[in-house]
């Protein structure tokens, strides 16, 4: 069950283990994601999905294993550095500035693409102006892409939930990432908002060619969108394959439905 990573791989995790004190969060997990691939990680609550995201983005440091992003080892690097080299993350609990407008929030996502000094900004030099204009253009492109025109000048705090999620998505995209980590992008959304978000995710892949790792509870969405799926249970990998393969895997069914029904209800609540 060892997949070989090759030229077209954007990120590969090799034998990652993470524990907090005596609690094992992730145990010996390996997988890779191809360029342009939409890769999903699923599993019951506490299976270690978010821990893996935290390992990739440098928030946690796994005790064992290695993470290679475009040939570079990520373990030991700071979250800032990892973001700068092209790993963006869309947070489940929207991480935006409520009092700033949609445009300003998205412009903040472009920070790492701005390279002028404080002095230059103070006098609003031609260099500053040029960069601000160029970045605004990128941001306007995203506003158009995510259908946020109507909210452009609204403080994010005033927006409906579905729109906030789109802004959060836009903020991650504004970084121009090579790899996008999507942490439950449709959590709490109604059917229509979910369909819209699915559309946007597919469009991002088709138009921008960005590789994505998706953590999501909405199984319908995962099965529809993902190219391949990794299933975790208690921090361990129990399956990896195409949606069809994973769906039929007895181990997966057991992990989700439990040995008997009482288990399931406990898990759900």
Contact with other proteins (CB under 8 A) among 158, 202, 208, 253: 202
Interaction between residue 239 and other proteins (CB under 8 A): no
132 binds other proteins (CB under 8 A): no
Provide DSSP, 152-175: TTSBGGGS-HHHHHHHHHHHHHHT
Q: Are strands 228-233 and 64-69 parallel, antiparallel or unpaired?
A: unpaired
- Residue 182's alpha-carbon distances to 116, 128, 216, 267, in angstroms, are 30, 32, 8, 23
Would you give the binding string for other proteins spanning residues 145-184, x where CB under 8 A is met? x-x-xx-xx-------------------------------
Question: Is residue 195 part of the contact set for other proteins (CB under 8 A)?
Answer: no
- Under rule CB under 8 A, residue 144 binds other proteins: yes
Q: To the nearest whole angstrom, how small is the minimum distance from the Cβ of residue 182 to other proteins?
A: 19
Question: CB 136 → other proteins: shortest distance, Å?
Answer: 8
| Residue list 93-112, contact with other proteins (CB under 8 A) | none
CA 177 to chain centre: 10
Question: Facing residues of 69 across strands?
Answer: 11, 72
- Name the minimum Å distance from CB 194 to other proteins: 17
Calpha distance 143→137 (Å, rounded)? 10
DSSP secondary-structure letter at 4?
P
Q: CB-wise, 207 or 259, nearer to other proteins? A: 207
Spacing of C-alpha 187 from chain mean position = 13
**Which positions lie near other proteins, rule CB under 8 A?**
136-137, 140-141, 143-145, 147, 149-150, 152-153, 199, 202-203, 206-207
């Amino acid at each position: 069950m060892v997949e070989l990573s090759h030229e077209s791989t954007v990120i590969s995790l090799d034998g990652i283990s993470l524990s907090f004190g005596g609690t094992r969060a992730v145990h010996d997990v390996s997988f890779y994601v191809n360029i342009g691939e939409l890769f999903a990680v699923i599993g019951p609550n506490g299976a270690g999905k978010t821990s893996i995201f935290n390992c990739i983005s440098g928030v946690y440091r796994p005790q064992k294993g290695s993470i290679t992003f475009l040939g570079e080892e990520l373990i030991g690097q700071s979250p800032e550095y990892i973001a700068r080299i092209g790993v963006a993350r869309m947070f489940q609990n929207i991480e935006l500035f409520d009092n700033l407008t949609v445009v300003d929030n998205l412009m903040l996502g472009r920070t790492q693409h701005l390279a002028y000094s404080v002095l230059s900004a103070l006098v609003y030099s031609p260099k500053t102006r040029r960069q601000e204009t160029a970045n605004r253009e990128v941001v306007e492109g995203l506003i158009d892409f995510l259908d946020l025109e109507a909210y452009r000048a609204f403080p994010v705090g005033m927006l409906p939930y579905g729109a906030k999620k789109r802004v959060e998505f836009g903020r991650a995209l504004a970084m121009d990432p090579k790899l996008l980590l999507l942490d439950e992008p449709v959590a709490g959304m109604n059917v229509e908002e979910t369909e819209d978000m699915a559309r946007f995710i597919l469009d991002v892949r088709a138009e921008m060619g960005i590789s994505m790792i998706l953590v999501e509870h909405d199984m319908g969405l995962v099965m529809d969108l993902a190219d391949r799926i990794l299933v975790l249970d208690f921090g361990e990998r129990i399956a990896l394959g195409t949606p069809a393969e994973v769906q039929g895997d007895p181990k997966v069914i057991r992990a989700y439905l439990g040995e008997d029904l009482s288990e399931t209800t406990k898990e759900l609540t």
